[in-house]
Amino acid sequence: MTDKEKTMTKRDEQIVERIHQNTLHILEEIGMAFLSEDALETLRKGGIHVEGNRAYFTKEQVMHALDVATKDFTVYARNDAYNVHMNMEDLYITPGYGSPSICEADGTVRPSTFDDFLKLSKIIQSSDAFAINGGILAQPVDIDPGISAEAMVYATLCCSDKALFSVCGGGVQAENIMKMLRIVFDGDIEKIPCSFHLISTLSPLGITRDTLDTIDVCAKNGQPLVIAPGPMAGGTGPISLAGNTSLANAEILGTNVYAQLVHPGTPIIYGFAATVSDMRNMNVSNSCPGFLKEARYGALLSKKYGLACRSGGGMSNANGLTAQAGVESAMNLFESFSEKANLVMHATGSLHSFNTVSYEKFIMDIETIDRMRYYFSDLPDDEDSLAFEAIQEVVSEGSNFVTSEHTFERCRIDPWYSTVSVHSNGHGNPNDELYASAQKRITAILDEYKYPAFSQAKRETLDSIMRSLGMKDKDIAKV
C-alpha cells in the first residue's frame, strides 16, 4: 500500500466517522416522523422520546438496536442450491426493480404486462448470474393494482426455486405473502428467513403507515428487511453529498430501531439507495459520479456497523440501449464489486432512471456482471498457471503457443468468452448486430428454462389463495 493509499484510507475513516456523528445528531435533534399511531406507541413503550409524530433517538438507543439486529444470516430458497448467505463478504445479484414500462431495442417505450414479468422471471431462473429471483421485475399494468404485490410473489414462487425477493405493499399484502411463504416452507417461518423485503422511507426523515405495517408483519415473522431510503440530493435531501448521505444513514438507523423494537433480532440489510437530482430538470440521476460517491460511502458506513449492504447496481439514465447506457451501467457495477456490495439491486435491465427495463440491456448487463466476476477473482498462480515449462518448451523448439499442449489443456479455463458482445468483423450496422446477438441469447436462455419441481398440492393451495384475492383464472393459467 502506497503512502497515498494509506492517506486516502485514513481520510475515508474520518469522513465516515463525521457522517456517523452527524447522523446521530440528526436523529437526536431532528428525529423521524412515524406516520402511524400504533408505531408511535411501540416507540414510546420502547423508551423512545416522542413528540407529536416525531421520534427522537439517543446514540445509545441507535447503537443498541444495531447490536440487537441479526447481521449474518441465510435466506432459504425452495432449492437449497440457491440459499443465500448474507454477510459482509459475498456478493449476490438481483435484477431491476420497480419499472412500470418496457424499453424496446429501437427506444420505444410501452407499458409492461404480466407476460413481461413472467418472461423476466424465467430468464432469471435460467441464468447462472442470479441466486435471487423476484421483486417488481416489471410492474404489470394488466393485473389489478390491489393484488399485484401478491400476484408477483405468487408467480415467482411458482416459476422459480431461487431465493425470493418479495414485493411490499402494506400490512394486508404482507400478511397474504406470509401466508404463501408458510405453505411453500411448510409452516412456521419465524426462524426460517425465506424472503427479502424492501423497506422504503419517506425522505426527508419520514416513514409511512403502509411501510410501518409491512415492517410489523415481516419482523414478527422473522423475515429480513432491506432498509433502503432514497433521498435525492437537491430534491428530497440536501444537495451536498455528505448531507444527503447523512440523511439516508439516519433513516436507515432510525428505522432499524423501530424494527428491533417490533421483533428483537430482525435480520437487517443496509439498503442505502441515496441518489442525486439533475438540477437542470429535477430528474433523478442514478448513474452520475455523485451517485456512485454516495453509494461508496454508504457501503463504508454499512461495514462500520457490521451490516451486509446494498450498493451500486446497473442503472442508467439513458433513454435507450446506447453507449451511455453501457458506460453508466458498467461504472455502477464496478462500484458494487469494488466496494463488496453484498446485495446488488437494479443490476440488470434498468434504463430511464429506474422507469423502464430493456430485455437487451438485461442480457448485456448479465455479461457485464460476468466480466466483473472474472476481473475481481484471484489470479491463479500455481505452477501450471505460471507456465514456466510451456514457455521453455515453445522457446526451445522454436514453435508457438497456439499449438502447444498447455494451450490445448487450458483454452476453456483461462480466457473469458463473451456470450453477447460481437467479436468478429461485421457487415452492417454494428448496433443492429449487437441487438441481434442479445436477442439470440435471450431466446437461448428461455429455451433452457425448465419449470422447477414444485408440489402439486402446494401449487393448488397457492392458486386458491390468488383466486380468493380476485386473480383471474386466465392469469393463473399463465404461471
Q: Which residue has the cell 431461487?
A: 162
**Pairing label, strands 232-233, 101-103:** unpaired
- Asked if residues 248 and 293 have their Cβ atoms less than 8 Å apart, the reply is no
Burial of 152 (0-12, 13-18, 19+ CB in 10 A): buried
SS3 for 410-459 is HCCCCCCCCCCCCCCCCCCCHHHHHHHHHHHHHHHHHHHCCCCCCCHHHH
Look up the pTM and report it: 0.94
What's residue 9's pLDDT? 84
What's residue 6's pLDDT? 44
Q: Report helix, strand or coil for 138.
A: coil
- Phi, psi values for residue 89, rounded to 5°: -115, -45
Q: Which residues in the chain show pLDDT less than 70? A: 1-8
Residues 6 or more apart whose CB falls under 8 angstroms from that of 190 comprise 220, 221, 222
What's residue 8's pLDDT? 56
Q: Report helix, strand or coil for 166.
A: coil
Q: What is the pLDDT of residues 156-197, one digit of tens each?
A: 999 999 999 999 999 999 999 999 999 999 999 999 999 999
Which residues pair with residue 55 across a beta bridge? Answer: 32, 50
- Asked if residues 299 and 309 have their Cβ atoms less than 8 Å apart, the reply is yes
What's residue 4's pLDDT? 39
The per-residue DSSP string of 246-290 comes to HHHHHHHHHHHHHHHHHSTT-BEEE----EEEETTTTEEESSSHH
Map out the domains of the chain with their CATH numbers: 67-376 (3.20.20.480)
Which residues pair with residue 54 across a beta bridge? Answer: 33, 51
The percent helix, strand, coil of the chain (3-state, each to 5) is 50, 15, 40
What's residue 131's pLDDT? 97
Distance of CA 178 to CAs 71, 245, 296, 439, 441, Å?
22, 33, 34, 37, 36
